[in-house]
């Protein structure tokens, strides 16, 4: 049994945290057992994601924000804009978009995918320092990461390579007083650094937009309430002086000067030494949700760098006076974030237009990053498109970014006049992208296809783009006379595409091992297309019962692995199981495994396989008795990761991840010289609930697991 060392990489799309446990290599075959940094049980491990914090980073405004702001910063649930005379806090709540996996197969569920989200509502609080103006903020402590914004169809409005900084310093806000902004994902700190002899009584904090301002007598916190009853709590300030390299506390606190203005009291201190006053704003008392960032898919390159895509509401509120605004009105953008091997953000790229956009699939090679998703925007950013205009209300987009994320290699719409969703994506060695999903359009662009016309109201589609993205090498419908959808795609070295999803059609094009639907409806299917896309090598139903396929992978030998959900039946009140299936290169079912506990429901969301056929399945469960894992509290919401061997034996280990999982990727280094054993690294991505009364308060995250052996000492 392998060891899973867990590293947490929570995302706010501008920063990440990684705690790395060094891998242990061995030249001999050790006895191995599950071991985890935090919690260990004989049955498995559980990880609590809520303990991780993410640094707040700042960007200079180079056109990505309203022109009156010189710097912007984003946290979980708030934005900060710094001007020449103060700082603005922006926060709010909205209706969050939910994950589109599994892709909704029937008409009532399909409408949920294509429903536009409600406009965001923002609250602004402006901080002025009475008697201080002419601010000249500057960034300090660069992180090495950058942001790229491809928003709207006009390249003049795109902004790239905007650097990230840990802090913004504003010198001389008062005589002898500097101001420094910094913080993490849930707290904003602003330090007043007083030179020797500077008078702290100069500092006057005026909060424009505050309905009330008072000092909590119990703990000294400054409580600010807005007209819509959102509360901000300023913790009692930390006041100290550096003496011989140590922080020596100084007594003091907040005081109210007038209705919307506060200052500080500072008791005895050494005026010949610098003084630091450090207030902290905690964003923990929102009445509803705030920003939502959801991760849909994850990929990893040969260097171990990680790429995540999904949907973000962070930083694109569009109210009068807001920090991020402009001609667009969309609540959400697609995002792509690249993380280094230590969890540091290398870039975050935003893709979107005037409506809602989401990334659903991602793939990467040496030439760039490929993203598939859904857009409602008529002005989605395009470059060398094969389709110049969006025809329906919502359609699929396909975008390829340069390796540094700062250039559109190509970006295109792909769809017909009614609507599409999907964006599952895979690539081959020639840099061709394969995209899949479902469409309700009767005029979806078909080229060299197996099926030229849809048989039902909803049909799956598969499309292969040329390496430059400017044309379709093939594109086809895939479905029967009812409702069918594709949720995942993989490609082998012979350029055959494999797709899975769900079919309600009894005349779905089955061919090969199982040529008819087994009996359940909908039924998970596995279909292998010819390299030309104009015929089926095989197409089979995967289960005797009602199932939905959500993930597919293929190993070098041509064996194919599918993950999904077994429904009994597919109703919210019934218990579901995750399933894993393996098919031979001829499409014959090799094994079918169900994963669930004795209570609650489980669903499979994603699957990854290494060259040896070892398989990792990621999904979610509410079962307190999930196989191979420790007991969890009643009615949990837990993501799981399960490892099986090439024959489906296991679980070799099960890891609870404490949040909802939607993607998994695996990288295994090549065997080293001298016979040194190498072990894979696994990455999962998903969404975690981060507090508040509304479940819309969610963040994207990545979890990294390093498999390493533990050598058992002989008794």
> What pLDDT digit, counting tens, does each position of 228-257 carry?
777 788 999 999 999 998 999 999 999 999
Domain count, the chain: 2
* pLDDT one-digit tens code per residue, 434-448: 999 999 999 999 999
Q: Does the pLDDT at position 492 exceed 90?
A: yes
Q: Which of 259, 282, 305 is the last residue of a domain?
A: 282
Q: Does the pLDDT at position 6 exceed 80?
A: no
Q: Tell whether omega for the bond before 522 is within 30 degrees of 0, i.e. cis.
A: yes
Query: Which region among 94-98, 392-396, 399-403, 626-630 has the lowest average model confidence (pLDDT)?
Result: 94-98
Q: Confidence class of residue 699 from pLDDT cuts 50, 70 and 90?
A: confident
* pLDDT one-digit tens code per residue, 182-223: 987 667 899 999 999 999 999 999 999 889 999 999 999 999
Same domain, 119 and 249: yes
Same domain, 208 and 343: no
Same domain, 259 and 316: no
Q: Does the pLDDT at position 37 exceed 50?
A: no
* pLDDT one-digit tens code per residue, 66-104: 888 999 987 766 788 999 999 998 875 544 443 333 333
pLDDT of 675 reads: 66
pLDDT of 59 reads: 95
pLDDT of 8 reads: 44
We report the CATH number of the domain holding residue 639 as 2.130.10.10
Q: Does the pLDDT at position 370 exceed 60?
A: yes
Q: Look-up: residue for tokens 């910063």?
A: 73
Residue 156 lies in a domain: no
pLDDT of 46 reads: 41
Q: Of all residues in the chain, what percent carry a pLDDT higher than 70?
A: 76
Query: Regarding predicted confidence, which is higher, 534 or 281?
Result: 534
pLDDT of 590 reads: 93
Same domain, 271 and 293: no
Q: Which of 282, 299, 328 is the last residue of a domain?
A: 282
Residue 540 lies in a domain: yes
Residue 668 lies in a domain: yes
pLDDT of 627 reads: 83
Q: Are 684 and 703 in contact (CB under 8 A)?
A: yes
Same domain, 124 and 259: yes
Residue 76 lies in a domain: no
* pLDDT one-digit tens code per residue, 563-572: 999 886 555 5
Q: Does the pLDDT at position 469 exceed 80?
A: yes
pLDDT of 564 reads: 95
Q: Does the pLDDT at position 642 exceed 60?
A: yes
Query: Regarding predicted confidence, which is higher, 118 or 128?
Result: 128
Same domain, 276 and 384: no
pLDDT of 185 reads: 63
Same domain, 200 and 336: no
Nearest to 439 by CA among 470, 396, 402: 396
pLDDT of 78 reads: 75
pLDDT of 539 reads: 95
Q: Confidence class of residue 288 from pLDDT cuts 50, 70 and 90?
A: very low
Averaged pLDDT, 531-544:
90
Beta strand residue intervals within 222-274, DSSP E: 222-225, 231-243, 246-249, 252-258, 261-266
Residue 63 lies in a domain: no
pLDDT of 530 reads: 97
Same domain, 407 and 513: yes
Q: Which of 256, 282, 308 is the last residue of a domain?
A: 282
Query: Which region among 198-212, 268-282, 616-630 has the lowest average model confidence (pLDDT)?
Result: 616-630
Residue 80 lies in a domain: no
d(CA 39, CA 41): 7
Q: Of all residues in the chain, what percent carry a pLDDT higher than 90?
A: 57
Six-digit token string for 328: 């667009």
Averaged pLDDT, 385-403:
97
Same domain, 278 and 413: no
Averaged pLDDT, 449-467:
96
Mean of all residue pLDDT scores within the chain: 81
Q: Who contacts 379 (Cβ-Cβ below 8 Å, separation ≥6)? A: 152, 153, 154, 328, 353, 354
Query: Which region among 154-163, 254-263, 356-365, 685-694 has the lowest average model confidence (pLDDT)?
Result: 685-694
Beta carbons within 10 angstroms of residue 672's beta carbon: 10
Helix/strand/coil (H/E/C) assignment for every residue in 562-629: EEEEEECCCCCCCCCEEEEEEECCCCCEEEEEEECCCCCCEEEEEEEECCCCCEEEEEEECCCCCCCC
pLDDT of 712 reads: 45
Q: Are 547 and 569 in contact (CB under 8 A)?
A: no
Same domain, 231 and 378: no
Same domain, 14 and 121: no
pLDDT of 656 reads: 83
Write out the residue range of the structural domain in which residue 111 sits.
88-141+164-282
Q: Confidence class of residue 689 from pLDDT cuts 50, 70 and 90?
A: low
d(CA 422, CA 287): 33
Same domain, 574 and 619: yes
Six-digit token string for 123: 């609250």
Residue 83 lies in a domain: no
DSSP letters, 660-712, are EEEEEEEE-PPPPGGG-----EEEEEEEEE-SSSSTT-EEEEEEEEEEE--PP
699: alpha, beta or left? (left if phi > 0; alpha if psi -120 to 50) = beta
Q: Are 421 and 394 in contact (CB under 8 A)?
A: yes
Residue 192 lies in a domain: yes
110 sits in which H/E element:
helix 107-114
Q: Does the pLDDT at position 541 exceed 70?
A: yes
């Amino acid at each position: 049994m392998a060891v899973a060392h867990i590293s947490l990489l929570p995302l706010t799309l501008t920063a990440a945290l990684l705690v790395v446990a060094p891998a242990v290599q061995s030249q001999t075959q050790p006895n191995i057992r599950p071991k985890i940094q935090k919690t260990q049980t004989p049955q498995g491990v559980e990880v609590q994601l809520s303990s991780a914090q993410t640094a707040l980073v700042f960007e200079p405004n180079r056109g990505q924000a309203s022109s009156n702001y010189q710097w912007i910063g984003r946290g979980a649930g708030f934005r900060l804009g710094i001007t020449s005379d103060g700082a603005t806090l922006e926060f709010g709540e909205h209706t969050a978009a939910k994950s589109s996996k599994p892709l909704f197969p029937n008409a009532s569920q399909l409408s949920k995918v294509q429903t536009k989200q409600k406009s965001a509502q923002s609250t602004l609080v402006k901080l002025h320092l009475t008697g201080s103006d002419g601010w000249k903020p500057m960034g300090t402590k660069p992180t090495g990461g950058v942001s790229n914004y491809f928003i709207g169809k006009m390249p003049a409005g795109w902004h790239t390579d905007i650097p990230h900084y840990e802090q913004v310093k504003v010198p001389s806000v008062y005589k002898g007083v500097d101001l420094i902004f910094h913080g993490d994902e849930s707290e904003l700190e602003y330090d007043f650094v007083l030179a020797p002899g500077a008078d702290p009584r100069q500092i006057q904090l005026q909060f424009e937009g505050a309905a009330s301002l008072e000092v909590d007598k119990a703990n000294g916190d400054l409580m600010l309430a807005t007209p819509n009853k959102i509360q901000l709590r300023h913790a009692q300030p930390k006041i100290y002086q550096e003496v011989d390299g140590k922080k020596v506390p100084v007594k003091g606190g907040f005081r109210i000067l007038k209705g919307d203005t506060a200052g500080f009291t500072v008791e005895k201190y050494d005026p010949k030494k610098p003084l630091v006053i450090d207030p902290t704003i905690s964003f923990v008392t929102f009445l509803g949700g705030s920003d939502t960032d959801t991760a849909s898919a994850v990929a990893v390159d040969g260097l171990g760098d990680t790429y995540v895509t999904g949907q973000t509401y962070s930083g694109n509120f569009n109210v009068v006076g807001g920090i991020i605004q402009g001609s667009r009105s969309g609540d959400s953008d697609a995002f792509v974030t690249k993380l280094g091997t230590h969890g540091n953000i290398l870039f975050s790229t935003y893709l979107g237009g005037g409506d809602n956009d989401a990334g659903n699939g991602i793939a990467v090679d040496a030439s760039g990053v490929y993203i598939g998703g859904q857009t409602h925007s008529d002005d989605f950013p395009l470059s060398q498109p094969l389709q110049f205009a969006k025809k329906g209300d919502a359609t699929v987009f396909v975008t390829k970014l340069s390796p540094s994320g700062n250039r559109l290699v190509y970006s295109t719409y792909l769809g017909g006049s009614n609507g599409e969703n999907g964006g599952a994506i895979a690539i081959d060695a020639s840099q061709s992208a394969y995209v899949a999903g479902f469409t309700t359009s009767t005029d979806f662009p078909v080229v060299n296809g197996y099926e030229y016309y849809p048989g039902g109201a909803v049909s799956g589609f598969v499309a292969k783009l040329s390496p430059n993205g400017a044309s379709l090498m093939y594109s086809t419908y895939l479905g029967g006379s009812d409702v069918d959808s594709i949720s995942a795609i993989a490609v082998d070295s012979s350029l055959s595409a494999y797709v899975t999803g769900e079919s309600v059609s009894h005349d779905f094009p089955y061919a090969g091992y199982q040529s008819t639907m087994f009996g359940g409806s909908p039924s998970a299917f596995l279909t292998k297309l010819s390299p030309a896309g104009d015929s089926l090598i095989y197409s089979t139903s995967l289960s005797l019962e009602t199932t939905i396929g959500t993930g597919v992978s293929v190993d070098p030998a041509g064996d194919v692995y599918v993950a999904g959900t077994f429904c009994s039946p597919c109703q919210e009140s019934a218990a579901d199981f995750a399933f894993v299936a393996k098919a031979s290169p001829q499409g014959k079912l090799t094994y079918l495994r169900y994963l669930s506990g004795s209570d609650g429901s489980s669903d499979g969301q994603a699957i990854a396989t290494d060259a040896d056929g070892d398989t990792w399945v990621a999904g979610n469960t509410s079962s307190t008795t999930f196989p191979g894992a420790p007991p969890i509290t009643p009615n949990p919401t837990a993501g799981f990761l399960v490892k099986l061997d090439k024959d489906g034996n296991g679980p070799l280990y099960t890891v609870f991840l404490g949040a909802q999982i939607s993607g998994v990727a695996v990288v295994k280094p090549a065997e080293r010289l001298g016979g040194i054993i190498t072990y894979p690294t696994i990455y999962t991505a998903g969404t975690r609930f981060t507090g508040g009364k509304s479940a819309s308060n969610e963040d994207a995250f990545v979890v990294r697991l390093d498999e390493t052996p533990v050598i058992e000492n002989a008794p």
